């Protein structure tokens, strides 16, 4: 095996892609301290499958990625690709069919590493076994670190045995042997588990045989049940056909009845229309009569009030006539007394004139004038009282005539009220007839709904 090429991308101090062509012969790396010589060796170790960060001078595996500087930003991944050239083909190794092999290892932050051999993703253990077949590895003695020679000199026999086996190229065989031993242990464990499963299955076979016999019985019973159910359904189907025929007969009967009822309905609808037209006119007349009735009631109330007022006026006039008659009677008595006084005065005057013709003549004249004035005044009051009495009598007669007219109007109003009440009763009876027609319509609708339900039942049976 020969290393022919090394490609480093973002590993430790190698920010940019760095390619090293390793040619035949010895290849040396010369440079000052801190230039990255040991980083190249660690990159080869890391590519060979090194899993310990301490062996690579790192705290954790993500520290091998370039962390950045003041002038360059950090990277999120690192990759090392190593090209190998094989001298002889090992048939035990599945990757050694070709003369050249390309091994790459890539790491991403917080995601872990991925290995590829000839662009095919493989396990870490596969890469380690590949190098172990050629006595190489990240921790083999082929890579001599500082103090490695003193460790070999001072090593124990078991450690020397490992060094000799590594030099003889048996480490790959040991690794494969270890893997096969692990696989054998796993298969032995699996066989034990299979034996347990087989024993459990044997124990379950008896129960399963019982369950299978029960299942057969169940199938036989289920077949019998299905046959009986089919027979029952067949009888139900025959019964349903008979029911359908009966329903059809009933439908024909109901349809005939429905035709008769529809004819009646048409006649009733015509009657209803005619009655509605008459109802409208009757309603209008009812409203008119009711308005007339209201007016008549108002007039009746007004006439009652006028009658009451006239009765009060008649009472007042009667009272006034009585008072005037009393006054007239008093005036007559006064007039008679005055006439008597006048006759007496004239007699005295004649006596006085006979006895003293010139004495007290002026006094007598003045008395005469005053008595005449009083007589005229009393006559005027008498005439006024007679005039008032005649006026009151005329008013009384007018009021009596008005009362008679009101009585006649009242009787007429009573007659109109009686007639209007009769017409209202007739309208109410007609409205009741319309309500009976409406109830008849409801009965017809119920019959139609029953017919519709029967049709739906027939559809469901089909």
pLDDT digit string, tens, across residues 303-335: 778 778 877 877 887 787 777 778 777 777 776
Question: Using 50, 70 and 90 to split pLDDT, how confident is the model at 428?
Answer: low
Question: Using 50, 70 and 90 to split pLDDT, how confident is the model at 82?
Answer: very high
- Tokens for 34, please give them: 């801190």
- Tokens for 264, please give them: 């009646």
Q: Which of 70-79, 118-127, 142-151 has the lowest mean pLDDT?
A: 142-151
Distance, in Å, from the CA atom of 55 to the CA atom of 114, rounded to the nearest integer, reads 19
Q: What was the pLDDT predicted at 77?
A: 92
- Which of 340, 341, 440, 324 has the alpha carbon at shortest distance from 383? 324
Q: What was the pLDDT predicted at 95?
A: 67
Distance, in Å, from the CA atom of 92 to the CA atom of 145, rounded to the nearest integer, reads 30
On the question of pLDDT at 279 being above 80, the answer is no
Residue 41's SS3 state is: helix
Which residue's structure tokens are 């000052």? 32
Distance, in Å, from the CA atom of 266 to the CA atom of 262, rounded to the nearest integer, reads 6
- Which of 145, 139, 178 has the alpha carbon at shortest distance from 162? 139
- Which of 438, 450, 443 has the alpha carbon at shortest distance from 268? 438
- Across residues 236-265, what is the average pLDDT? 87
On the question of pLDDT at 442 being above 80, the answer is no
Q: What was the pLDDT predicted at 78?
A: 93
Q: What was the pLDDT predicted at 359?
A: 47
Task: Render pLDDT for 403-421 as a digit per residue (tens, 0 to 9).
Answer: 777 778 767 777 776 776 6
On the question of pLDDT at 9 being above 90, the answer is yes
Contact 321, 389 (CB under 8 A): yes
Residue that wins the pLDDT comparison between 428 and 282 = 282
Task: Render pLDDT for 340-390 as a digit per residue (tens, 0 to 9).
Answer: 776 777 777 667 656 654 445 556 556 666 766 766 776 677 677 677 767
Residue that wins the pLDDT comparison between 428 and 202 = 202
Mean pLDDT, the chain, whole residue set: 77
Q: What was the pLDDT predicted at 461?
A: 45
Contact 172, 127 (CB under 8 A): no
Residue 19's SS3 state is: strand
Highest mean pLDDT among 77-81, 150-154, 196-200: 77-81
Please name each of the domains of the chain with its CATH number: 1-25+36-138 (3.40.50.300), 278-461 (1.10.287.2610)
Residue 75's SS3 state is: coil
Q: Which helix (H) or strand (E) holds 104?
A: strand 100-108
Residue that wins the pLDDT comparison between 144 and 297 = 297
Task: Render pLDDT for 101-127 as a digit per residue (tens, 0 to 9).
Answer: 899 999 999 888 999 998 899 988 888
| pTM of this prediction exceeds 0.75 | no
- Tokens for 211, please give them: 């369950």
- Across residues 288-312, what is the average pLDDT? 78
Sign of the Cα pseudo-torsion (110, 107, 45, 40, in order): negative
């Amino acid at each position: 095996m020969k290393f022919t090429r090394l490609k480093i991308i973002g590993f430790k101090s190698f920010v940019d892609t760095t390619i090293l062509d390793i040619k035949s012969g010895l290849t040396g790396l010369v440079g000052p301290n801190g230039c990255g010589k040991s980083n190249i060796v660690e990159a080869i170790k890391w590519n060979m499958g090194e899993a310990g960060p301490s062996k690579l001078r790192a705290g954790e595996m993500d520290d091998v990625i370039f962390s950045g500087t003041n002038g360059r930003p950090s990277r999120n991944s690192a990759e090392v690709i190593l090209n190998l050239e094989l001298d002889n083909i090992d048939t035990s190794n599945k990757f050694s069919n070709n003369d050249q092999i390309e091994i790459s290892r890539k790491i991403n932050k917080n995601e872990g590493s991925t290995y590829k051999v000839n662009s095919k993703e493989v396990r870490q253990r596969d890469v380690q076994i590949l190098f172990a077949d050629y006595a190489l590895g990240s921790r083999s003695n082929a890579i001599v670190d500082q103090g490695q020679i003193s460790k070999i000199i001072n090593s124990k026999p078991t450690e020397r045995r490992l060094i000799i086996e590594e030099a003889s190229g048996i480490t790959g065989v040991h690794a494969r042997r270890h893997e096969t031993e692990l696989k054998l242990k796993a298969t032995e464990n699996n066989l034990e588990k299979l034996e347990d499963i087989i024993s459990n299955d044997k124990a379950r076979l008896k129960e399963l045989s019982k369950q299978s016999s029960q299942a057969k019985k169940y199938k036989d019973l289920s077949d019998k049940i299905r046959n009986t159910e089919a027979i029952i359904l067949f009888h139900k189907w025959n019964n349903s056909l008979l029911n359908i025929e009966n329903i059809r007969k009933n439908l024909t009967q109901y349809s005939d009845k429905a035709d008769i009822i529809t004819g009646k309905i048409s006649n009733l609808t015509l009657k209803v229309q005619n009655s509605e037209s008459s109802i409208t006119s009757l309603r209008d007349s009812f409203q008119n009569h009711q308005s007339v009735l209201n007016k008549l009631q108002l007039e009746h109330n007004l006439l009652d009030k006028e009658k009451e007022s006239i009765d009060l006026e008649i009472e007042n006039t009667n009272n006034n006539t009585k008072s005037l008659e009393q006054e007239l009677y008093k005036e007559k008595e006064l007039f008679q007394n005055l006439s008597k006084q006048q006759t007496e005065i004239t007699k005295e005057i004649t006596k006085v004139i006979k006895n003293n013709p010139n004495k007290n003549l002026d006094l007598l004249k003045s008395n005469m004038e005053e008595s005449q004035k009083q007589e005229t005044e009393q006559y005027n009051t008498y005439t006024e009282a007679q005039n008032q009495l005649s006026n009151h009598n005329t008013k009384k007669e007018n009021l009596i005539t008005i009362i008679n007219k009101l009585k006649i109007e009242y009787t007429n109003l009573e007659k109109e009220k009686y007639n209007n009440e009769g017409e209202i009763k007739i309208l109410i009876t007609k409205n009741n007839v319309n309500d009976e027609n409406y109830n008849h319509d409801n009965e017809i609708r119920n019959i139609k709904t029953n017919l519709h339900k029967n049709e739906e039942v027939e559809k469901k049976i089909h």
